Chain A
C-alpha cells in the first residue's frame, strides 16, 4: 500500500446533551480542531468524506446538512452511512486512488435528539424482526449470553471492563462518563436486559470528530508528526442475527489477520502497544480482544483480571475510556482511530501510555458487531 498518514485530528467533548448546538455546529468544531492540528487551511483539503445516518439525524441526505460546516463547498464530497472507522477507510481509499492528496473525514451524532431504542430497532428486518421489539440493547444481551454461555465467562468478568474503562476516563477531559466504580457497583446496577446491567452499557451521547488523512508527499507539508497507516482491513458477517453464531468473532479475526499481515505483525500481544476498540457494552471488549488475537477464545476475562489491559498493563485497552465512557454512534470508530493516533504521537495527555509505537483501532457496523474494521497505526512508515 502507498503510505498514507493521519496528519490532523479533532474531537469534541462527549456529552449527554450538547443543548446549545445542532450537529453541524459540532462538525464545525471538530473540523476546525483537526485542521488546526494539521496546520492546514480548508483550501488544502482535496476532498471530504462525511459520516452520518439519516435515521439518527431525522432527515434524508443527512450528509448535506453539514456541507458548510465541513468545508466541502466546491469540493468533491462523499458520504459513508456507518461507523467512523469505515468512513475513514473510504477516505483512505480516495487518497490511494491517486485522485486526492488529502481527505478530511468527519462524523457527527446527537443521540439526545432522538430515541435510541426506536432507531436501533429500525436496523433490523422490518418483516421478521422489527415487530418483535429487538434493538441495540436486546440484541447485545442475546450476544452476551451466547458468548458467556459458550466460554464460561461471568458477569463479573464483564463488569471489570466497565470498572477499568470508566476509571481510565477520569484521565480523559473529553469523556462523558468518568466514574470510580467497583465490580460490586456494576453488579448491583439494574438489569436492562439480562445479563446486561445499566453499568455494562455505553451512554447515549452527543459528539463529533474529524481527521485529516494525507499522502506521503502531502504529509510532509503538514504541521505535526504524521501517524502512518500500516495496515487496515474490514470484513462482514451475515446481517440476520439468526444466520450467525453470535458468540463467533470470525469477521473480526479475518479483518485483523489482513490488517496485521499488511503491517507485518505476527504476535499482536507482543507487537501492539495500545488498543482502542468498540466497547459499546462491557462484554464486547472481551469478545473483540479475542477476535483481535490478544488471547484465545474465552480467555479475555482472565487477561483483563490479570491487569494486562489496564493503563499499567502490557497492552492497555481503551486508555481513553472507550465507548463505555461516551458513545456518539458513528463518531465512536473515528474516535478510536484518533485516540490511537494521539497515543502514537505521545500526545494523549493524562491517559498517554508510555512508549507507544504501534496502536490498533477497531470499529464495528451492524447489529452485534456484524462487520469490523481494524486499523494498525504507527510512527514509522
Chain B
C-alpha cells in the first residue's frame, strides 16, 4: 500500500511539471546563392536552349557536368566549356515512397516518384534527377534516358521536368 501512496505522490508531482516547447513557426532564413560564371552559363543554357553544358579538364580530360571552376583530383583551373548530350544512362536509381516537403517550393512532391543518378553522354560525372518511371522492376542500372524539359523554365535544375526512360 505504501507503494501505491508513493505512486500517487509521484503522479501529483508530475502534474505540476509542465514541459514547454517553443516553435520556430514560419520564420525563414532566405539565401541568395551565386551559381558562379559557369553555373550561370549551365543554367541559362537549360533555360534558353534546353541544352546541357560541361567543362573539360585540360589535365585528366574529364568532363564535369555541371561545370565548375576547378578539377578536384588535378587541382587545375578549368576553362573549356563543352556541350554534352541530353541523353544518357542510369548509374543508380531509387523509387521514393515517403513524403517530403521540398524546401525550394514548399510543396510535397506526390509519391511515389523515380529518382536517378544519370550520366549524360559526353560527361564523366553524373547529375541527379527524377525519372518518369515509378515501378522499380522496370528500371535497370544502365537504362537509357532522355531529358524532358519543362515548358516554363526559369534557370534551375527544375527546368528539366524529369528524365524519360527510352524503351527499346
Contact = CB atoms under 8 A, between A and B. Distances in A.
A149 interface: yes
A275 to B, nearest CB: 27
Contact of A193 (B39, B43, B98, B156): B98
Identify the interface centre among B39, B43, B94, B158: most chain A CB within 10 Å of its CB.
B94
Nearest to A55: B29
Given A126-B31, A145-B141, A149-B141, A246 B94 contact: no
B63 to A, nearest CB: 12
A145 B103 CA distance: 26
Contacts, number: 113
Interface string B124-167: 01111110000010000100000000000000111000000000
Assign chain B's interface to a size class. Answer: 35 or more
A131 B117 contact: no
Given A133-B109, A135-B100, A193 B94 contact: yes
A19 B19 contact: yes
Given A58-B24, A118-B103, A132 B129 contact: yes
B4 interface: no
A133 B113 CA distance: 11
B96 A193 contact: yes
A137 B98 contact: yes
Interface residues of A, number: 40
B128 A241 contact: yes
Contacts of B33: 126-127
Nearest to A113: B21
Nearest to A192: B98
B37 interface: no
Contact of A131 (B93, B96, B98, B158): B158
Contacts of A243: 64, 72, 125-126
Given A127-B33, A145-B141, A241-B117, A132 B128 contact: yes
Nearest to A137: B98
A133 B99 CA distance: 10
B34 to A, nearest CB: 8
B102 A131 contact: yes
A69 interface: no
Interface string A147-164: 001000000000000000
Given A190-B97, A242-B117, A145 B128 contact: no
A20 interface: yes
Given A142-B93, A194-B97, A128 B157 contact: yes
11 contacts: A118-B101, A130-B103, A131-B105, A131-B157, A132-B115, A133-B102, A141-B94, A142-B115, A194-B95, A194-B97, A243-B126
Interface of A: 19-20, 58, 117-118, 121-122, 126-135, 137-138, 141-146, 149, 190-196, 238, 240-243, 246-247
